[in-house]
Amino acid sequence: MEAPPAAAAEAAPAAAAGTTRPTHPTCDVKGISWCKGLQKWQITVYDVFATGKRSDPWRHTDYTFGLHEKDQAIAKHAQIKAEVDARWKRETERIAARYSWTRNLPRAPDKAEDAEKDTTYWKENERDGYRPRRVVVGKRGKEQWQYKLACHADDCTSAAAVDAAGGLMWCHRHQHEHGVSKFKKRNRPNYTQRCKIRRRGSLT
């Protein structure tokens, strides 16, 4: 026996609802998620320079705010992140001040396209304990602006190039002055003010 049209219409949404997984609240801010077990917003911010002690944890968490307090959770997350970011900036600047090749240089902008040409900056290296590197901005072909390792010579704003020993510390001009150039003197390019060859040294 077929069901009446009205009954079939009511059953269709119910059947469809049965196949849909239950949803949970979401937040577009990275570091804020919904904790199903506690029924609270979970705030998570990592501090790479923390000591790991109870009073100075690697991970800052907060479960204070309920379902209808997302705005408060976002504000709290911004507060914690601002404190962590300020510490990160202080610590990386302190590390950069240890090294003679970056001590008096300006910090590189976060985006390479915001950096000035013919200017040497320092930039932290997260893969090497935040040990700083001298960098300049440049392009390779038609690629976007990117940071490249810079020559370590004072007042030089050229990109570093791989030398005869496999090092990446000097531009072609200063490689010759330090005796590590891959070019013989008679074959060496003629440099007057600064090296124009930029073959290697891109940062990833």
**Alpha-carbon span 118 to 15, nearest angstrom:** 66
Q: What is the mean pLDDT of residues 173-197?
A: 63
What integer pLDDT is reported at residue 164 of this predicted model? 81
| Three-class DSSP category at 103 | coil
What integer pLDDT is reported at residue 103 of this predicted model? 87
Q: What is the mean pLDDT of residues 42-60?
A: 93
Tokens of 144: 């976007």
What integer pLDDT is reported at residue 185 of this predicted model? 57
Element (H, E) at 18: helix 5-18
Inform me whether the pLDDT recorded for 204 exceeds 70.
no
pLDDT level of residue 69 (50, 70, 90 thresholds): very high
**Alpha-carbon span 199 to 161, nearest angstrom:** 7
14-28, 41-55, 148-162: least confidently modelled range: 14-28
**Alpha-carbon span 101 to 123, nearest angstrom:** 11
Inform me whether the pLDDT recorded for 194 exceeds 50.
no
Tokens of 38: 């506690």
Inform me whether the pLDDT recorded for 2 exceeds 60.
no
Mean residue pLDDT across the chain: 82
The domain spans of the chain are 25-96, 112-187
pTM score, whole prediction: 0.70
30-34, 116-120, 165-169: least confidently modelled range: 165-169
Q: What is the mean pLDDT of residues 145-170?
A: 90
Contact indicator for 163, 180 with CB cutoff of 8 Å:
yes
Inform me whether the pLDDT recorded for 64 exceeds 90.
yes
Inform me whether the pLDDT recorded for 197 exceeds 60.
no
80-89, 110-119, 128-137, 138-147: least confidently modelled range: 138-147
What integer pLDDT is reported at residue 20 of this predicted model? 58
